[in-house]
Amino acid sequence: MPQVAEKLQPWITALEARRDGGPRWLEDLRARGAERFATLGFPTTRDEEWRFTSVAPIAATEFVPAPERRLTESALEGYLYSEAAHRVVVVNGRFSPELSRTGGLPAGVRIGSLGSAIAEQADEVARYFGRLATFNTRAFVALNTAFAHDGACVFVPPGVVVDEPVQLLFVSDAGGDGPVVAHPRVLVVASERTQIRIAETYVGVPGQVYLTNAVSEIFLGEHAVLDHYKVQEESVQAFHIGSLDAHLSRSSTFSSHSFALGARIVRNDANAILDGEGAECTLNGLYLADGDRLVDNHTMIDHAKAHCPSHEVYKGILGGRARAVFNGKIVVRQDAQKTNAKQTNRALLLSDNASINTKPQLEIFADDVKCTHGAAIGQIDEDALFYLRARGLTFFEARDLLIHAFAGEILDRVQIEPLRHALEQELYAQLARDLAEADAA
């Protein structure tokens, strides 16, 4: 395949030119990532995991490594959900100390630069880094690993409750440098009996073309409670590939909510391993796409131990010629008796040209389990629309009420009030534009 090799060549060259440094274990890991990516190359639609998502536009773009860039506080306006909250700001893949607010935390809690943690707490980082984000078959994770050097980290020592939410903000700004790529990395270690809320936000300069290839690893100790949000509001010309891997110990509770509102092509992988009895996992998602955009959500909940409930609700609203993919895999291992897994996937198509490919994938090896899944794709419910109109609401009022109700099921579960408010505003503003476009058509 000479064309593929040709397309890959600039990436391989970039891999060879990537800067060295850091502890030996990281150097080795990065070398393995580079090697693996060189072997795998970019996935194609012949790859079952990428059947409906072509990354050819990414492979065809000549990205350069995102340069170091200093932003002022005003550049972040609209992206911070609270002025006062703890935050780690990462610009073009590099920790930004002047924009971050990492003080005032309970004793022992550390948030901040992953790069610094690698340098200063190498042994602790080495225990976790790369353990979940394996890349034998995942080309983008291999690529991220090859370039891994910085990002955000959160360490919570045993028994600590962090009341204030923590925002991890990732900003891309190509400036005048043309298409850039960043490979930010997140490492969260929530030790036993901890409690914390963390929101990852990915944004970029509107109109710019860039690639964010992010990898997040989250470890929950026994009885840890972690409320996680991923908000993707990249430029609509940008590409976003994100992998989230979470490891749940006994009786821990992990809730993750994904909001995909931007990017031309977005692929989100969310994987959770329920690796201790009584662990509970929620993976919810809400995505909105219009124009020619593509949103691909792949989730995998791995029930490795008994007595674990998991809940999953993904919802999408698609206009224009937008396409979506939802692949929800649930694995129930032989030992995972009394598993209770529930998955729901719904999409609302606002235009005749929008489409979704949806696939639940259940692999069950235990015999005493309860697993349910359901998918519903469609237009706005005509009966509900008529019912509301018969009570005096105009067509537009009734339709908007129904669409807001559809999204509300996911939005209402956001436990960080200012974040929910910001999401509602952004989502409804975008919806209003899509609906105005649909009405004009």
Partner 1 sequence: MLDIKDLHVTAESQPILRGIDLHVDAGEVHAIMGPNGSGKSTLARVLAGHPEYEVTAGQVTYEGRDLLAMDPDERAREGLFMAFQYPVEIAGVNNAYFLKAALNAKRKHQGLPELDAMEFMQLIREKSKLLEIDQSMLSRAVNEGFSGGEKKRNEIFQMALLEPRLAILDETDSGLDIDALKIVANGVNAMRSPDRAIVVVTHYQRLLDYIVPDFVHVLSAGRIVKSGGKELAIELERRGYGWIEAA
Q: Which is nearer to partner 1, 292 or 439 (CB)?
A: 439
For the bound state, the minimum distance from the C-beta of residue 400 to partner 1, rounded and expressed in Å, comes to 11
Least separation in angstroms between residue 322's CB and partner 1 is: 22
Backbone CA torsion sign across 13, 19, 24, 25 = negative
When the beta carbons of 261 and 411 are compared against partner 1, the nearer one is: 411
Q: Least distance in Å: CB of 383 to partner 1?
A: 5
**Amino acid at residue number 297:** N
CB of 405 to partner 1, least distance (A): 3
Closest CA to 308 of 275, 263, 259: 275
Nearer to partner 1, 409 or 424 (CB): 409
d(CA 69, CA 396): 45
Report the alpha-carbon distance of residue 305 to residue 340 in Å, rounded: 12
Q: Give least dist CB 386 to partner 1, A.
A: 6
| Nearer Cβ to partner 1 (381/417) | 381
| Residue indicated by tokens 């550390």 | 110
Binding residues for partner 1 (CB under 8 A): 381-384, 386-395, 397-398, 401-402, 404-406, 408-409
Task: Give the shortest CB-390-to-partner 1 separation in angstroms.
Answer: 5
Strand positions, DSSP E, 31-93: 64-65, 86-91
Among residues 103 and 392, whose Cβ is nearest to partner 1? 392
With contact defined as beta carbons under 8 Å apart, do 63 and 211 qualify? Answer: yes
In the complex, what is the shortest distance from the CB of residue 407 to partner 1, in angstroms, rounded to a whole number? 9
Amino acid at 271: N
Residues 6+ apart with CB under 8 A from 372: 341, 342, 343
Q: Shortest Cβ distance from residue 427 to partner 1 (Å)?
A: 14
Residue 257 or 293 with smaller CB distance to partner 1: 257
Strand, helix or coil at 419?
helix
Please name which of 323, 326, 299 lies closest in space to residue 315, comparing C-alpha atoms: 326
Alpha helix locations (H) across 99-174? 114-120, 122-128, 139-147
By C-beta, is 98 or 381 nearer to partner 1?
A: 381
- Residues 6 or more apart whose CB falls under 8 angstroms from that of 233 comprise 79, 201, 202, 203, 261, 262, 426
Q: How far apart are the first and last CA of the chain?
A: 42
Q: Which lies closer to partner 1 via its Cβ, residue 163 or residue 383?
A: 383
